[in-house]
Amino acid sequence: MKILVLNASPRPDGNTAKMTAAFCEEAQKHGHNAVCLNVCRMNIKGCLACEYCHGKGQGACVQKDDMQTVYSQLKDTEMLVLASPIYYHGITGQLKCVIDRFYSALYPTAPKCLKKIAMFLSSGDDDMYTGAKFSYDGDFVGYLGLEGCGIFTNHDKDVLEKIREMAASL
Ligand SMILES: Cc1cc2nc3c(=O)[nH]c(=O)nc-3n(C[C@H](O)[C@H](O)[C@H](O)COP(=O)(O)O)c2cc1C
Rounded percentage of the chain residues whose pLDDT exceeds 90:
100
pLDDT tens figures, 4-29: 999 999 999 999 999 999 999 999 99
CB atoms within 10 A of CB 12: 10
Atom of ligand 1 at shortest distance to CA of 126? 11
Mutate to test the pocket of ligand 1, among 123, 133, 153 (most ligand atoms within 8 A of CB): 123
- 8 A C-beta contact, residue 154 and residue 132: no
Number of helices (H), then strands (E), in the chain: 6, 5
- At 78 the pLDDT is 98
Atom of ligand 1 at shortest distance to CA of 88? 8
Sign of CA dihedral 107, 98, 70, 80: negative
- At 5 the pLDDT is 98
Per the prediction, the chain carries an average pLDDT of: 97
**Which domains are seen in the chain, by residue range?**
2-168 (3.40.50.360)
- At 44 the pLDDT is 98
Sheet of strand 33-38, all strands in order from the earlier edge strand to the far edge: 33-38, 2-7, 79-85, 116-122, 147-153
Atom of ligand 1 at shortest distance to CA of 154? 21
- At 140 the pLDDT is 98
- Alpha-carbon span 141 to 11, nearest angstrom: 28
Tell whether pTM > 0.75. Answer: yes
- 8 A C-beta contact, residue 79 and residue 109: no
- At 158 the pLDDT is 98
- At 166 the pLDDT is 98
Please give the distance, rounded to the nearest whole angstrom, from the Cα atom of residue 91 to the centre of ligand 1. 9
Mean pLDDT of 126-148: 97
* Residue 34 Cα distances to 28, 48, 160, angstroms: 6, 30, 17
- At 6 the pLDDT is 98
Q: Tell which residue, 82, 69, 161, has the closest CA to residue 116.
A: 82
CB atoms within 10 A of CB 131: 13
In 40-87, at which residue ranges do the beta strands (DSSP E only) sit? 79-85
Q: Tell which residue, 131, 143, 137, 48, has the closest CA to residue 84.
A: 131
Mean pLDDT of 60-75: 97
Q: Residue 37: beta bridge partners?
A: 6
